[in-house]
Amino acid sequence: MTITQDSSAPLVVVVGVTGNQGGSVVKALSESDKSYRIRGLTRDTTKPTARALAAAGVQLVAVALTSENAAAAREAFKAADIVFVVTNYWEHLDVNREVAEGKMLIDAAKAVGIGLFIWSGLESIINVSHGKYPNVHHFNGKGEITEYGRQSGIPFVNVQSGWYAVNFWKLDGMKPTRVEDGTYVLALPVGPQTLLPVIDTPNDYGLFVREAIESPEFGPGSEVLTSGEDITIGDMISQLAEITGKKIVYARISDGDFMTATGLPHRIALEVLESLKYHEECGYYAGKTTADSRRHLARPTRTWSDFVRSTDWSSVLV
């Protein structure tokens, strides 16, 4: 990785730097032939991921980005040319908190006069589905933050995150389970033709953020839709079976059976259920294509089959 300390290079502040998306942003910018200074924000600069980033030249700053810490957020954004922001719904499952923190970070960036605000948004499913699926809070909240950012007047780009390839490998209720010796089933409440923008997030999400920064086709006011490959669930399963040599079948199950199988509390299971049904009926990106967003990438993205080949499935296909 090459990250500069040279003060003539743009300063990029990365929220969530120890996570999947923020870490990927650092990876992609350090691959660039352009130079960047990077300031990474984490609550814990002593954890191994943070230490590794510091060793690679990222300036680590310890800060908890909560609503009562707005002054610390402004301080952390000070002198930045670009900020990348992601919020983490799954840590607290509180959409009001996610929206408040997202808006606080937009206000902080506005207060320090940021050059470019890059936000990891998602669609407002309640709006796109015209109220049919009201409970997908991790999408709806991010949609609300996007709207606030657009109206705030700051230079704002929405780099929406695709469907993590690891979901089918590590999320309960969404990974293949063994039904009998040598046979596995992936059981979901949608049809196998459901198309998803699947992305190997740590490897490729940041590539799209780099594109938003470096490519003149993007920039303030634009939207980037990330995807390693747009692929149907049925094709994902058949490729997984072929590459691993296992017998894996796809089954469409009822909504109720799916919710029970997730083992999640009712309201979270409902959120996951509605998100899948929305993806089937409306499309993950509300029917928008990812083609334009892929046109100026600095290198190819990993496909689903690339991800399958580079992953050890022994803990899943046991």
Ligand X SMILES: NC(=O)c1ccc[n+]([C@@H]2O[C@H](COP(=O)([O-])OP(=O)(O)OC[C@H]3O[C@@H](n4cnc5c(N)ncnc54)[C@H](OP(=O)(O)O)[C@@H]3O)[C@@H](O)[C@H]2O)c1
Residues that bind ligand NAG (CB under 6 A): 124, 127, 143-144, 147
CA–CA dist 275, 280 (Å, integer): 9
- Residue 156 identity: F
Q: How many residues does the chain have?
A: 318
Q: Which pair of structure tokens corresponds to residue 153?
A: 């007047």
CA–CA dist 300, 133 (Å, integer): 34
Question: How many other CB atoms sit within 10 Å of the CB of residue 175?
Answer: 17
48 belongs to the binding site for ligand X (CB under 6 A) = no
| Cβ closest to ligand X, residue 178 vs residue 188 | 188
| Cβ closest to ligand NAG, residue 60 vs residue 104 | 104
Of 32, 35, 167, 222, which lies in the binding site for ligand X, with binding defined by CB under 6 A? 167
The answer to whether 82 and 213 have CB atoms below 8 angstroms apart is yes
Q: To the nearest whole angstrom, how small is the minimum distance from the Cβ of residue 288 to ligand NAG? A: 14
18 belongs to the binding site for ligand X (CB under 6 A) = yes
| Cβ closest to ligand NAG, residue 151 vs residue 254 | 151
Q: Which does 206 bind (CB under 5 to 8 A by kind): ligand NAG, ligand X, none?
A: none
Burial class (CB in 10 A: 0-12, 13-18, 19+), 143: buried
| Cβ closest to ligand X, residue 74 vs residue 247 | 74
Of 6, 8, 48, 90, which lies in the binding site for ligand X, with binding defined by CB under 6 A? 90
Q: To the nearest whole angstrom, how small is the minimum distance from the Cβ of residue 49 to ligand NAG? A: 32
By DSSP bridging, strand 156-160 and strand 116-119 are: parallel
91 belongs to the binding site for ligand X (CB under 6 A) = yes
The answer to whether 121 and 106 have CB atoms below 8 angstroms apart is no
Of 29, 39, 53, 87, which lies in the binding site for ligand X, with binding defined by CB under 6 A? 87
Q: To the nearest whole angstrom, how small is the minimum distance from the Cβ of residue 126 to ligand NAG? A: 7
CA–CA dist 307, 228 (Å, integer): 10
The answer to whether 168 and 198 have CB atoms below 8 angstroms apart is no
| Cβ closest to ligand NAG, residue 148 vs residue 313 | 148
Using CB under 6 A as the criterion, which residues of the chain lie in contact with ligand X when the complex forms? 16-22, 41-44, 64-66, 86-91, 122, 138, 161, 163-164, 167
